[in-house]
Amino acid sequence: MNSGRKGIVDPREEWRLDTRRLGKKVLLFDEVDSTNDLAAFLAEDAANDGVVILADAQTSGRGQHGRSWQSPPGSSVLLSVLLFPPPAMRRPVLLAAWAAVSVCETIWQCTGLSAKIKWPNDVLVHHRKVAGILIEQGRGTVVGIGLNVRQSTEELASAGLIEAGSLAMFSDRSQDCRQAAELLIRCLDEEYDRLCQGDLRTLEIAWKNRTELLGRLVEVECLDGNFRGRLFDMGWEAVEVQCSDGAIVRLKPEKVKHIRNF
Ligand code: BTN
């Protein structure tokens, strides 16, 4: 496939997975500026629904809040998927939960470790961030995932990423980015198909069970103020915080920016 985009080379490889909705076409590149940018470019054509972009390296990998996303070539899964979901599924909270739960399931399959979700978009193993998610919506919906697979503790520390982790750091099994990428695509596809069939409940339960701090004392940072209390429950409709007087405050998930230990 020639992407037709100035400065973008043809993919090194193309996979055609036997999936349901995404990953039927996976384009693998040695290096791109950002897999999210390339996926967004492909949104010009709705026939690219479900296309996955993978790269060994990014020259301008992007994170949340305008930050950069760094990873040495061949050390991580750098993946973006382009989708045109129905309106009810374009909610960032739902998309973030879908991606985060799929990453957790992939980590479980690669390492046997139980990863946790840190609101809204981070995945942690042993309290270290091993994956981040960047959702960008325009003509289509682009969900970008960076999953640290092979970096050593020293490599992460020398890049100044002292709170980051990788699968290799916590697992004796040898870790392979290609295998992790394929597993991740299959997990994303299975969960996305369930959502498209109207089953939002299965994901809601998995998301809640994977979220760290449930039942703990937290500070919830919202767009219109902060709330302290016990993180009582959470779901697509509300994040519930029980205050010290026992009252329960229900917050719209879209308003919740961060949930921190208190
Ligand atoms: C974050 O935690 O800040 C989100 C990081 C998202 C990084 C991924 S790597 C693949 C995709 N392409 C990008 O430029 N960013 C996302």
Q: What are phi and psi of 20, to 5 degrees?
A: -90, -50
* pLDDT tens sequence across 31-48: 999 999 999 999 999 999
* Residue 6 confidence (pLDDT): 57
Say if residue 159's pLDDT is above 90: yes
How many angstroms separate the CA atoms of 77 and 19, rounded? 19
Q: What b/e readout covers 2-18, taking b as 16+ CB neighbours within 10 angstroms?
A: ebeeeeeeebeeebeee
Our answer on whether the CB atom of 132 is closer than 6 Å to any ligand 1 atom is yes
Our answer on whether the CB atom of 133 is closer than 6 Å to any ligand 1 atom is yes
Average pLDDT over residues 109-137: 97
Q: Residue 188: helix, strand or coil by DSSP?
A: helix
What's the 261 CA to ligand 1 centre distance in angstroms? 25
* Residue 9 confidence (pLDDT): 72
How many angstroms separate the CA atoms of 71 and 78, rounded? 9
Question: Between residues 9 and 245, which one has the greater pLDDT?
Answer: 245
| Rounded CA Rg of the chain | 18
Q: Work out which ligand 1 atom sits closest to the CA atom of 69.
A: 7
Considering the chain, what is the average pLDDT of its residues?
95
Our answer on whether the CB atom of 36 is closer than 6 Å to any ligand 1 atom is yes
Average pLDDT over residues 199-215: 96
Q: Work out which ligand 1 atom sits closest to the CA atom of 60.
A: 14
Give the rounded percent of residues in the chain with a pLDDT score beyond 70: 97
Q: Residue 221: exposed, middle, or buried by beta-carbon count in 10 A (0-12, 13-18, 19+)?
A: middle
**Amino acid occupying residue 228:** R
Our answer on whether the CB atom of 78 is closer than 6 Å to any ligand 1 atom is yes
* pLDDT tens sequence across 4-24: 565 567 899 999 999 999 999
Q: Which residues contact 257 (CB under 8 A, 6 or more apart)?
A: 120, 221, 222, 223
Q: What is the pTM of this model?
A: 0.95
Inter-residue contact 185 to 23 (CB < 8 Å): yes
* Residue 21 confidence (pLDDT): 98
* Residue 4 confidence (pLDDT): 52
Sheet order of strands, 256-261 included: 248-251, 239-242, 225-234, 217-222, 256-261
Give the rounded percent of residues in the chain with a pLDDT score beyond 90: 94
Say if residue 112's pLDDT is above 60: yes
How many angstroms separate the CA atoms of 73 and 155, rounded? 12
* Residue 117 confidence (pLDDT): 97
What's the 164 CA to ligand 1 centre distance in angstroms? 14
* Residue 2 confidence (pLDDT): 46
